[in-house]
Amino acid sequence: MLTKKIQEFLSKDQFETPFLVVDLDIVAKNYQKLVDQLPGVDVFYAVKANPAIPVLELLRDFDSNFDTASIQEIELCLKLGVSPECLSFGHTVKKERDILRAFNLGVKTFAFDSLPELEKIARAAPSTNVFCRFLTPNDGADWPLTDKFGCSPDIAADLLCQAVGLGLNPLGVSFHIGSQQKKPSNWSIALEKARRIFDVTSERGVNLSFLNLGGGFPSQYRVPSCNIEQHTEEIKKGMKKLFDDKVIRAVIEPGRFIVGDAGIIQSEVVLVSQKKYSDHKRWVYLDIGKFGGLPEVLNEAIQYEIKTPYDNEKVGPVVIAGPTCDEVDILYDHSGYQLPLKLSIGDKIEILSAGAYSASYSSVGFNGFPPLKEYYI
């Protein structure tokens, strides 16, 4: 969102585009809102969403825990004074030497979704806590996470029982209903699957006590999404129905919701052109594209709201493209974007709700373009 702080920052007009600017007050507000909405549920911020030091320091001071995807993210958090007890190595595909390194640094909680991964953890991090990620429907998500990670619930139950024989402590389960989820009812489906795993393992003498609800809480983009309260109410309803008789630790792994709408990207129009006399759709080229910090426009999945200096003027259909020489560097062609007819070379535009999965995805120099610049205010 274009907060007062961000508007004042942009008014100085002294920074070369493209760049990301994040209002840390909004990060704090979003974190606190989620905590207030889900009392008793621990937050593990998904570092991958935005690993900027100012963001991590702010959340550290709020006593957040952290979901990490790599040894590098673990080392970054530890360098900032985060206790290893507050870290979860949440990636289900890890090099064994990275598991060992994390273990030696004091990390004691690891995710898995297969027997080979479980065996790696047993060898490199003996006697530690493990939780299994299972598959659950992601329909309704703008950015589904259904194929690459997780296993079927029956496999999850078997693996958690096998963990005991490998000398590990099977804590519980995790799932992810899909990033930018617009269908809150998916929480109930996932929770029912989780409860079934708890029951099956209990029948085999393995009592689970950990429920990782993952992420999926949405930011607000071009098409309004359901609000956070709809998600948290569905979670609370499902937890009360299915886990009220259990003493468990429930956690969430928000990323996008915490930092997404706290940041905007300012970009410059590099070119406005017409491909054919018969085509009324203009091409608008920006100085940022898929490789510079907007990879989530892949398949036009995440549709950012775009502000221009002429938002009250007459508009027309456009194709929006990035600056690189790669043909796939087209942001939007089929989603019905329209921009003001007055928009021209050199104009500045703002891409809203861009605080998550932007700078952390930016390439280090494709076509010679530098990584996306970042400012935290």
Residues marked active site are found at 325
Number of C-beta neighbours around residue 331 at 10 A: 24
Separation of alpha carbons 38 and 154, rounded Å: 29
Separation of alpha carbons 358 and 341, rounded Å: 28
Return the closest-CA partner of residue 196 out of 149, 155, 240, 144: 155
Contacts of 180 (CB under 8 A, 6+ apart): 141, 142, 143, 216, 218, 219, 221, 225, 256, 302
Separation of alpha carbons 251 and 225, rounded Å: 23
